[in-house]
Structure 1
Amino acid sequence: MTSDDNLNALKRCYELWNETKGESVDAWLNLFDETVDFRSLAMARDPSVDFTKPCCSKTEVIQYLSGLKADWSMEHYTIDEYVVDGDRICAYGSTAWTNRNTGTLLDTPKLDFVKFKDGKIVFFYEFYDTAGLISAARA
């Protein structure tokens, strides 16, 4: 697959993710390799965001997404810019989620670093306001 193919597939996943408010899990799962290295900046450093622990397989990513969707409701997921360097893509934008338990809104800048191999995501690292995430989960 080419850089353009990877970028187009990733863009479509983000578009669906926003349009469906987080219900397009299958689109993401189809794009992840079985042995994906998936990391979330919070890294489960607080029990209120335990779902953010590092993942090393598609099965563990499913657990991450289940935890996310159980505790949070998406308001929007907007990607404003993509930077492509071969098989690596950075996606920059913002996202907002409401914690289902506390009712608190988290609105944060978002940066995802993604690496592809043979048309599948093998590395995904997401950056966002971790202090805001933990605060909204505890409120």
Structure 2
Amino acid sequence: MTDSSNLDALKRCYELWGETKGGSAEAWLGLMDDQIDFRSLAMAQSPEVGFTAPRTCKEELGCYLNELLADWEMEYYRVDDYIVDGDRICTVGSTAWTNKRTGKRAESPKLDYVTFKNGKILAFHEFYDTASMIAAAS
């Protein structure tokens, strides 16, 4: 895939993610390599966000998405900017989620660092306000 193909595929996934409020997990899984380095800033340091543990394969990433959507309801997800450098894409945006158990809201700037290889996502690292998320889950 060319740089623009990677960017187009990633944009489609983010657009679906926001439009469906998380109902497009299969689109993400379809874009992932079978082996992936997926890391979330929280990295399961708190039991309230155990789903954020590092993931190393598509099956584990499916568990991450299922656990996220079981505990949280998306209010919005917006990407404002895409920064492309070869097979690497950085997204800058914001998101808000409500914890289904507590009813508390977490809103945060969001940055994702995505690495492609042969048209598939090989690495995905996400950065956001973990304190806000843990507080909403507590």
TM-score by length of structure 2 reads: 0.99
Matches within 5 A, 1:107-122: 107-122=107-122
* Separation in structure 2 between the aligned mates of residue 91 and residue 103 of structure 1, nearest angstrom: 28
Gaps of 5+ in 1: none
Partner of 2:124: 124
* Separation in structure 2 between the aligned mates of residue 106 and residue 3 of structure 1, nearest angstrom: 33
Structure 2 counterpart SS, 1:56: strand
Partner of 2:73: 73
Confirm or deny that 1:21 pairs with 2:26: no
Partner of 1:47: 47
* Separation in structure 1 between the aligned mates of residue 45 and residue 135 of structure 2, nearest angstrom: 12
Gaps of 5+ in 2: none
Q: Residue 89 of structure 1 aligns to which amino acid in structure 2?
A: I
- 1:38 to partner: Cα distance: 0.3
Q: Residue 98 of structure 1 aligns to which amino acid in structure 2?
A: T
Which stretches of structure 1, 4 residues or longer, exceed 4 Å deviation after superposition? none
* Separation in structure 2 between the aligned mates of residue 21 and residue 111 of structure 1, nearest angstrom: 18
- 1:61 to partner: Cα distance: 0.3
- 1:70 to partner: Cα distance: 0.5
Deviation string for 1:15-60 (max 9, x for gaps)?
A: 0000000000110000000001100000000000000000000011
Deviation string for 1:63-98 (max 9, x for gaps)?
A: 100110000000000000000000000000000000
* Separation in structure 2 between the aligned mates of residue 90 and residue 105 of structure 1, nearest angstrom: 25
Matches within 5 A, 1:97-108: 97-108=97-108
Percent identity reads 62
* Separation in structure 1 between the aligned mates of residue 10 and residue 83 of structure 2, nearest angstrom: 12
Q: Residue 82 of structure 2 aligns to which amino acid in structure 1?
A: Y
Matches within 5 A, 1:6-17: 6-17=6-17
TM-score by length of structure 1 reads: 0.99
* Separation in structure 2 between the aligned mates of residue 38 and residue 122 of structure 1, nearest angstrom: 8
How many residue pairs match? The answer is: 138
Partner of 2:64: 64
* Separation in structure 1 between the aligned mates of residue 137 and residue 128 of structure 2, nearest angstrom: 14
